[in-house]
Chains A and B, each alone.
Chain A
Amino acid sequence: MSNDDAAAPAAALQAAGGPGAVPVNGVPAASGEDAGSDGWPLFEVFVRSRRGLSHNHVGSLHAADAEMALHSARDVYTRRQEGVSIWVVPSTALTASSPDEKDAFFEPAADKIYRHPTFYNVPGGVQM
């Protein structure tokens, strides 16, 4: 719950920022003390809605293991035929860019406008 400097760097290494992307480090709550659901690891869920499309992040859930995560993901995220394929990934396995380094990380692309077709002048009347 804290967003102070101590908690931020650890959290920054994890989670993709989607609906269930959780900063699992620096979370003050107890975990694993009893067999509560949070004693179970967190999984991020990705669903391919139909053939020809890529898997998209839809949320997250807690499960004892990957197999259980897959079954729970089917029940929680595809009750209305929203998917033909599901991936579950332990949230701790994700590496994400940090919002803190947003400028340094993404800005180098901003001044390379010649990478876009609109940069170029084409004589009138030419069909392209």
Chain B
Amino acid sequence: MYGASVGEGDIGRGDLDENPGEQGRFDALVASESRIEPRDWMPEAYRKTLIRQIAQHAHSEVIGMQPEGNWITRAPSLRRKAILMAKVQDEAGHGLYLYSAAETLGISRDEMMDLLHQGKHKYSSIFNYPTLTWADMGAIGWLVDGAAIVNQVPLCRCSYGPYARAMIRVCKEESFHQRQGYENLYVLSHGTPLQKAMAQDAVNRWWWPSLMMFGPSDSDSPHSAQSMTWKIKRHSNDDLRQKFVDMCVNQVEVLELTLPDPDLRWNTERGHYDFGAINWEEFHAVIRGDGPCNKERLAHRVAAHENGRWAREAAAAYAAKQAARKETAA
């Protein structure tokens, strides 16, 4: 799962002349579609942008375990429970790949965790919505992971090597996430009328937040251009969002459900589906911390970290004891 490009933050341009020779080499590597590796010289703003983006992405994977973890004990069958557990475990793994990619830029995982816990680092706004019914597990897999895939596939070609490599692993694993969600919704939408209504309700609630995952409109996304120049980002937010909408229209027909947008219609001239206006006020409110579950998600994360302290301490004590014993024996 993925964090949208929320809060891309401030990236200074002041360092562009800090090292003209190295800058030239860096620019040439990026221009030639080569990759920047951890110990290469890089502009400070590039490093900062990547730390912020990768950390935010990692946090999204970790916080993203909560909405689905909520349903593990209540999955309707052993099959669904096993699938959900595997998916949630994958999200933890994705978080770890990404934290280790961010660490190559010179920030520690503890520091990133602290920033998340203090509310100074963001994660995708989508995870601040509640999972009210079992059908939400289907809608999240289909729409949220579907949007994540559209966002993430271009990141496999990101100019920063460790991030690109982490994304290749993530994308390989993500396709199961989307398919299990789609299958889940298909079973419900072809079940009893109540089940179908539950599936439709879930799609209605998750559709617009999923479109917001692509981040602000291009006109409102001031740092996109710089990220495109650096080849961190390959497509604009609006282009990716359009691609996602076009894909979903066909997929929802097979589900025999509808998307909650009266303005959705094919535009022959553009060769794309037109869709209604996104409620950006809601988007910004959720990012600000006023979404339905922001406080709950963060409190849960902090509690998990605190409640795990004894286990981390025990592991460290055990390792120290073993090392001491080895030394005595030697």
Chain A contact residues, CB within 8 Å of chain B: 1-3, 7, 11-12, 15, 17-23, 26-31, 34-40, 42, 59-62, 64-65, 68, 75-76, 79-80, 96, 98-99
Q: Is B312's beta carbon under 8 Å from chain A?
A: yes
Known: A20-B101, A59-B100. 16 other contacts (CB 8 A): A3-B42, A15-B104, A19-B101, A19-B162, A20-B100, A21-B39, A23-B106, A29-B110, A35-B315, A35-B316, A36-B110, A37-B312, A38-B111, A60-B103, A65-B319, A79-B173
Determine the distance from Cα of A35 to Cα of B93 in the docked complex, in whole angstroms: 21
Question: By the criterion CB–CB under 8 Å, are B309 and A35 in contact?
Answer: yes
**What separation, in Å, do the CA atoms of A99 and B295 have in the docked complex?**
45
User: Contact check: which of B51, B97, B105, B113 meets A19 at CB < 8 Å?
Assistant: B97
Residues of B within 8 A of A62 (CB): 109
A21 partner residues in chain B, CB cutoff 8 A: 38-39, 104, 162
| B window 41-72: CB within 8 A of A | 41-42, 44, 47-48, 51
User: Would you call the interface of chain B mostly helix, strand, loop, or mixed?
Assistant: helix
CA distance A60 to B102 in the complex (A): 11
List of 8 A-B pairs having minimum Cβ-Cβ separation, nearest first:
A29-B108, A64-B319, A65-B319, A29-B111, A20-B100, A38-B110, A35-B313, A64-B315
Chain A residue contacts of B39, Cβ below 8 A? 11-12, 15, 17, 21, 23, 96, 98-99
- If over half of A's interface residues share one DSSP class (helix, strand or loop), that class is named, otherwise mixed; here it is loop
B278 at the A interface (CB under 8 A): no
- In the complex formed, the residue of B with least CB distance to A62 is B109
CB <8 Å contact, A31 and B108:
yes
A36 touches B113 (CB 8 A): yes
The answer to whether residues A20 and B316 also contact, given A29-B110, A36-B110, A38-B110 and a CB cut-off of 8 A, is: no
Q: Which residue of chain A is the closest to B168 with respect to CB atoms?
A: A19
Question: Which residues from 185 to 216 on chain B have a C-beta closer than 8 Å to any C-beta of chain A?
Answer: none
30 pairs, A vs B, C-beta closer than 8 Å: A1-B48, A1-B51, A2-B106, A3-B41, A3-B47, A3-B106, A15-B39, A17-B37, A17-B39, A17-B161, A19-B100, A19-B166, A20-B104, A22-B100, A22-B103, A23-B38, A23-B39, A29-B107, A35-B312, A35-B315, A37-B109, A39-B110, A39-B316, A59-B100, A59-B166, A60-B100, A60-B103, A64-B319, A65-B318, A68-B315
